[in-house]
Amino acid sequence: MPTVVSVLNQKGGSGKSTLTTNLAHAFEMEGHSAEILDGDSQRTVTEWGKLASKAMPTVTPTTAPTVEEDAEAAPSSVVFIDGAPAHDTLNVRAMKLSDLVLIPVRASGPDVWSSEDLLGSIQTRRDQTGEPRAAFVVSQQIARTNLASEIGDVLDTYSLPTLEERTNHRVAYAEALSSGTTVLDMPGAKKAEDEIRRIAQQSLQLLRRTDE
């Protein structure tokens, strides 16, 4: 079974697909082979994959009944699952398969509150099995705003850690997603690239702890 990293949030617009595509490619650049399972019914990542070059991770659409089989069959060392924008069966099954769950949240209370069903499921699973590792990722923050500075305090009230690195609201992310590439491959996107590389490194550190 490959290592499974699920990117889950039941609220649409949280930056799931952007984080999934960029992180999968960042993992490849760190020496891991990666594949993406697209569990979002909007199929944003699937459409991204149709535009992507062969240098990008392979994308396979998945559903709740097949997600475990699809993950096991993946010929890569790491499988990323882009979850559904709802707390549904697919997200629960993806969470149970996962070595690591990343929860992207924008810098606003409602984005965090909308994740509480997912957080409850993760905690129940951790109480039963000790897994998966899980962490918040602050997504699309607008720097130097009260919301950006206060979201850390909001997330600290939950039992899960928050990755130190955040993504900022940058046009490069939208351009990359709509053109089948990532910010790691775009000229002039150095700040976004650095954000993704640091998130990838912090995610890998969490995964290494699961092997200890």
**Gap between the Cα atoms of 10 and 117, Å rounded:** 9
Give the chain's domains with CATH numbers.
3-210 (3.40.50.300)
What are the E-state strand segments in 63-161? 78-82, 100-106, 133-139
Helix axes 89-97, 116-129, angle to 10 degrees: 40
At 150, phi and psi to the nearest 5?
A: -90, -20
pLDDT tens column, 122-180:
999 999 999 999 999 999 988 878 777 788 888 888 889 999 999 999 999 999 999 99
pLDDT tens column, 20-67:
999 999 999 999 999 999 999 999 999 999 999 999 999 999 999 999
**Residue 211, pLDDT score:** 52
Cβ count near 88 (within 10 Å): 15
**Residue 34, pLDDT score:** 98
**Gap between the Cα atoms of 37 and 115, Å rounded:** 21
Buried b (16+ CB within 10 A) or exposed e, 164-202: ebbbbbeebbeebbeebbbbbbbeebeebbebbbbbbeb
Instruction: Give pTM, 2 decimals.
Output: 0.94
Question: Pseudo-torsion of CA 138, 92, 26, 137, nearest 10°?
Answer: 10
- 152 Cα distance to chain centroid: 18
**Residue 212, pLDDT score:** 46
**Gap between the Cα atoms of 5 and 3, Å rounded:** 7
Cis peptide bond N-terminal to 132, omega within 30: yes
The label of the residue with tokens 């889950």 reads: 8
